[in-house]
Copies of this chain bind each other. A is one copy, B any other.
């Protein structure tokens, strides 16, 4: 019987759990809600699901550990800290701001638990099972509701002094730019995320008199999907919104290259579905802002794994 690992991808809405073989096959999967206020209740639900999954796969192998990818998770101390999108760990409404989920889940299951932030888990997933196999120096950028990142350097995740390395979504992309949830201004995340693209749309609609399919929508409810749909129908404003996004993202990517000199940048997350409308502008802006030694040499790769799979696989790989 082979060794198995459990990989868990904790998101704001739901937590996806999977039992994974060392070869990277997800044998069983299960989803539990993350929309619970009380951490103890959430933990009980999660523990129950893990135990069910272990039972279901008992004839396939022995589960030897649990790996978790979660927002604001710290590999070095096993905690999740002040995660605004996790009801049970956002430090508001009487809930704790710091939960030691690794320790608690270990006590509840008897299995060793490893935890890292979600973008790191996704980077690990791509490195071992995805498009970055064999690439030992790359930067993973997750373009979802926000912007996350995981940096693989010399084959390993960069953690830094305190486990928080790779917060590239909060690098300043526009000086004194848009207000970010983190308290800073002009963060990359306020431009190059699903949320950021919607903000760009609202700005364009306000500052621009052109006709656009987007004018039919309630500006406050506009989503990146709406803008994508309009772009597919040939709407010029929608296309300009993505081009603007691509230029800001590309300029930021160039500066990331100057830090760790990666072979590739791997892009991942919901916004990459719209890449046909920002890829060229992004690559152009990146190359325009790179020195000769790198111009035209940095590969841009898009994740080849199903979104939830990358995080589950990456999280589980910490066990090996």
Contact = CB atoms under 8 A, between A and B. Distances in A.
Question: Mostly helix, strand, loop or mixed at chain A's interface?
Answer: loop
Interface residues of A, number: 43
A251 B161 contact: no
Contact of A170 (B160, B165, B291): B291
Interface stretch (A101-109, A210-218, A231-239, A252-260): A252-260
Nearest to A156: B154
Nearest to A165: B261
Interface string A300-311: 000000000000
A248 to B, nearest CB: 10
B291 A172 contact: no
What is the count of identical protomers in the complex? 2
A46 interface: no
A266 to B, nearest CB: 13
A256 to B, nearest CB: 7
Given A164-B293, A289-B184, A256 B258 contact: no
A260 B170 contact: no
B261 A259 contact: no
* Residue from A81, A291, A294 having most chain B Cβ neighbours under 10 A: A291
Interface in A143-202: 151, 153-154, 156, 158-168, 170-172, 174-175, 182-184
A292 interface: yes
A160 B137 CA distance: 6
Given A183-B292, A291-B170, A158 B258 contact: no
Given A159-B154, A184-B289, A289-B184, A164 B259 contact: no
15 contacts: A137-B160, A137-B161, A151-B259, A151-B260, A154-B156, A154-B158, A160-B261, A167-B258, A168-B258, A168-B259, A172-B289, A174-B175, A184-B289, A184-B290, A255-B255
Interface of A: 81-82, 136-137, 151, 153-154, 156, 158-168, 170-172, 174-175, 182-184, 251, 254-256, 258-263, 289-294
Given A153-B153, A172-B289, A175-B175, 10 more contacts: A82-B292, A153-B160, A160-B260, A163-B261, A164-B261, A166-B258, A171-B259, A183-B291, A184-B289, A184-B290
